[in-house]
Each structure stands twice: as structure tokens, then as C-alpha cells.
Chains A and B, each alone.
Chain A
Amino acid sequence: MLPKIARGVHALSIILILMFLLAPVILVFPISFSADAYVAWPPSAWSARWYVALLHNEEMVTAFRNSLLIAACVTVITLVVAMPAAVALTRWSFRGQDALISLFTAPLLLPSIVLGLAILVIFAGYGLVSSWPGVVIAHLVITLPYALRVLMTGLGTMPSFVEDAAGTLGAAPWQVFRQITLPLMTPALVASAALAFIVSFDEVVISLFIAGTQLKLLPVSLYHYVESWTDPLVAAVSALLVLGTLGIVLIVERAIGLGKAVSK
């Protein structure tokens, strides 16, 4: 039992830390409604002019569309590649299995700046830099480990005796997969798809290296814009991105319970 004052100080510090954690995400909202030509606090007047400007900014609109398309492609390919691997790595046991899993998740441990540079050096020789396939393939290096981990966790917590039971009831292996395994791993599929999409959409370092200057991607364009301009346009984009991410989080939370998945 702590004395009252200590508990008060404790509660206050928790609130302050939480505010610190969320401050940058929250403060872009008021700034995005500034009527000023540059970011300053407090804004002299409020308006939606930067949202309008955003709609007319061809580079941002193109970059946004490109990023969406790339993220969609990356998500599909990630699932197609990761799902068979996850099934293989959880339903079989063979020698060197742990080593393989470590190899597949190792890219998460390496700095993305090193990965970006390494891929750039190789891709430059094959003309893949600044190309759509190049960017999509490069993004796989970071989306695959995430997706593989989530899918393997999902499959691992799913008892294989359910599949055995289906087998005893006369289901062929393919039917077992379609009718038992696939439906049961839907939450993990949703989670890994969402994660792959967000990771690809948000990726900036690898994109900086591989997308070059011709292929516009949103995080890269934002980065370059901030380097040269001080107006609140980026705040408007940021606010929209935060809302979009919030939407995805809510969908995933509804589907599988993100909080539960993480706290386990």
C-alpha cells in the first residue's frame, strides 16, 4: 500500500509518459488545420487549405497511389510465399529447421540501411533500381519475416490434433487444409496481411535506396518535401496517414484482438 502522495505522483508520471509517446502523432492534427504558410505555434488562423493543397499536389497524389499499389502487390506476394513456408515449418519437423527459421527472420535484425544499400548494389547491376518489380522485391526482405512469424505463431497455437481428427473422419490432406487449417488460421492471415501492408507502405529507408528519384513513393516524397519546405502540407498528409493506420488497427483489433495477440 503506497501512501496517497506517492500514488498521485505515480499516476501523473504515467499520464505524462503516455502523452510524450503520443504527442507527435496527435499534434500533427491541429497543425494540419493551420492557415499559415509555414509551421508555427499557435497558428494565426485555422483553415483546411493544406488539405486542398494536398489534393492539387501532383507529386503527393502520385506517390500515395504508387505506395498503395506497391503495398498491395507486396502483401499478396508476401502471403503467397510465407504461407506455404509457415505450414512447412510448423507441420513438419526436420533437421536444420531452427537454422532455417533464423535465416528467414534474420533480416529483421539487420539495420534497414544496410539491407537497403546491399540490395541497391545488387539491383543496380540488373537495372532493377527505380523499377516497380525492384521495389516490390526489395520490400519483401522486411515484410516476409514479419508475416512468417505471425503465421507461424497462428499455426503453432492451433493444435494439429484437430487436423488429425479431420483425417480420421475421412478428409484427404487437401480437404483438411481447405476446411480445417485455412479457416482456423484466418485471424493470423488477416494480421500478417495488415502487417505486411503497413510495413511496406511505411518503409522509407529501403525505398530511399531502391525507388530512386523516378518512382515516387509517399514516405520518400514526404522525407524530401520536409527537407526543402516548411509549410504544413506534410502535417495534412501525416494526419491522414494516422487516421488510415488507426482504421487498419481497429479492423485488425475487431478481427483478432490486437491487444490480446500482443499481450500473450
Chain B
Amino acid sequence: MTVSALEANDAKSGGGSLLSTLLLPIVLVNILVFVAPVANLAAMSFRSAAATGAMNEGFDLSTWSSLISDAYYWSMLWRTVWIGALITLVTLVLSYPLALFVSRATRAKALLIVLCISPLLISAVVRTYGWMVILGDQRFLPAVLRSFNLTPPRLINNQLGVIIGMTEILMPYMILSLLSGFGKLDATLEQAAETLGAGPFTVFRRIVLPLSMPGILLGCLLCFVLAVSSFITPKMLGGGRVALLATEIYDQAIVTLNWPVAACLSVLILIVFGTALLFYGQLSKIVE
């Protein structure tokens, strides 16, 4: 090692004050907009709102207990979870072949990846509006279906609309996760299986699918978590008829102005997140 390299290492290990200076701004911002607000919100779930809308002094469990005893919230929680799971499944089924195709493309691979990912960069409001234009009554898809003499089902302001829109919104996330997982797929492994007598379907089932499992799990976790917490798309495509945890948080916080209930529901969403994360960890271990 050269002398100056040694000096450089000294500088790096000894520059504690410089290190703190470099990290100070981000630590401050992080505390201001993340740690403090989230901790405060969690604490707020243990307070209760008075009839006037103001908050009662002191901590109590009354908000939690009224929430837990209300069947409305239980059915909403259940709806949120199963719609989230369904959206995740549909997203996976649609994204997998596309991601596999993209990862194997030789020509125009970069362009294909940009095409798949760039919808992420367009505001959810714009993309959801696009679905309103496609799915709405008298609009694109019903009109096209009618021109084939088919009676279109109701595609908007119901759960079907939310599922269609959310699936498309989440596909880029799923594709990204799958692409990162396909890194493990080595073409010679498939060839080896083929030389051992495996036909195309068997190669997929025994080699490709198991090896892409980590990417699948990651994508499913990401999509489920985003599906459970998204609010704009269910609000716009559900037409107020699909009540989910996230939309309820907004209504409680902005319309009803009952912050303790909104805080409880937020903690509830975080519990759903934690559970999903636990599942993910367990499944990942099995896959390994």
C-alpha cells in the first residue's frame, strides 16, 4: 500500500467531524418529515376525538376499541386485503411473460425496458384518468365492445374498475422486480435440462420458474403493499363505492376530521404491511 493511500485511509477513519457534517442535513430532514411525524401519528391513535372534533386530553384506548368492535372496519380490512391479493396475482400473471420476453430480447432491449418502466414516471392521476377514458360508460372499451355487438359489463365505479386500473399501475413495479430476479437465469441451465430430456414446458416448470421465485416474491410483496395503500386510483375508478383502508384514512382525516381514527387506520395499514413482510421473509426462506 502506498503512503498516500495509508494517509487517505487515516483521513477516512479519523474524519469523524466531517462525516457528521455531511450526514447532518439528511438526519435533520429525516427526523422532521419522517421519524417525528410517524411516531406522533402512532401516538395519536391512542387518543380520542371529542364530539366537537377537538382531541381529548390524555391517552386512552377508546378509539382502538370502538374500531375493533365495528364490523364495518373488519369488512373493509378484509376487502382491502383480498382486493390487494387479487390485484397482485393478476399483475404477476400479466407481467411475468412480458418480463421474461424483455429479459431475453436481444434487439431493442433497452427500448423495451424503457417502455415497461416509463409509465412509472407518469403521475398516477394521469394514468388513472386514462383508465376512466377507456372504461367509462359511452367511452372507449364499451364503445369498442358495442361495435362487436357485445353488451359491455359495468367497468367503472366498481371493484372491477379498481382492479383493472391498479393492475396496470402496478405492472412496472412487478416487471422491475422480476427483471432483477431473472439475473440468476443462465441460458446454459435451460440447455442442460434440455439435454437431460426436458421438453420446453418441463424446462419452464422445473428450471425457469423456481429460479425466478425470488423475483416473483419481491414483486408480489411490492405490489401487494402498494395495492393495499393506494388511494388515488381506488378513489377515481371506484367512484366512492369501493371503500378501502386507504380511502377511509383520507375521508377520516380530511372530510370527517377525526384524526385519531385516521391514525388508528394508518397503524392498521402498517400492521398489514408488517404481516406481508413476515410472509415474504418466510416464503423467501423456503425458496432459498
**Chain A residues at the B interface, C-beta cutoff of 8 Å:** 1-2, 10, 13-14, 17-18, 20-25, 27-28, 31, 39-42, 80-82, 84-85, 87-89, 91-92, 94, 100, 103-104, 106-107, 109-115, 117-122, 137-138, 140-141, 144, 148, 163-164, 167-168, 173, 198, 201-202, 204-205, 208-209, 219, 222-223, 226, 234-235, 237-238, 241-242, 245-246, 248-249, 253, 257-260, 262-263
Residues of the B chain whose Cβ atoms lie less than 8 Å from the Cβ of A80? 25
- Sampled A-B contacts (19; CB under 8 Å): A14-B101, A21-B116, A21-B171, A28-B130, A88-B22, A92-B15, A92-B19, A111-B229, A111-B269, A113-B266, A117-B263, A121-B41, A167-B8, A202-B125, A204-B125, A223-B236, A245-B121, A258-B110, A259-B110
> Are the CB atoms of A31 and B133 closer together than 8 Å?
yes
Residues of the B chain whose Cβ atoms lie less than 8 Å from the Cβ of A104? 26, 30
Closest to B33 in A: A141
Residues of the B chain whose Cβ atoms lie less than 8 Å from the Cβ of A109? 225, 273
Q: A40-B139, A204-B125, A259-B110 are in contact. Are A20 and B94 (CB under 8 A)?
A: yes
> Are the CB atoms of B133 and A28 closer together than 8 Å?
yes
Closest to B94 in A: A17
Q: Mark B217-228, 1 if CB is under 8 A from A, else 0.
A: 000000001001
CB distance from B279 to the nearest CB of A (A): 15
> Are the CB atoms of A25 and B8 closer together than 8 Å?
no
**Cross-interface CB contact of A168 among B5, B36, B40, B232, cutoff 8 Å:** B5
Assembly CA distance A115 to B35 (angstroms): 10
Q: Mark B119-133, 1 if CB is under 8 A from A, else 0.
A: 101111111111111
> Are the CB atoms of A118 and B139 closer together than 8 Å?
no
B contact patch SS: helix
> Are the CB atoms of B33 and A138 closer together than 8 Å?
yes
The reply to whether the CB of B97 lies closer than 8 angstroms to some CB of chain A is: yes
Assembly CA distance A92 to B15 (angstroms): 9
Q: Which of B34, B38, B270 has the most CB of A within 10 A?
A: B34
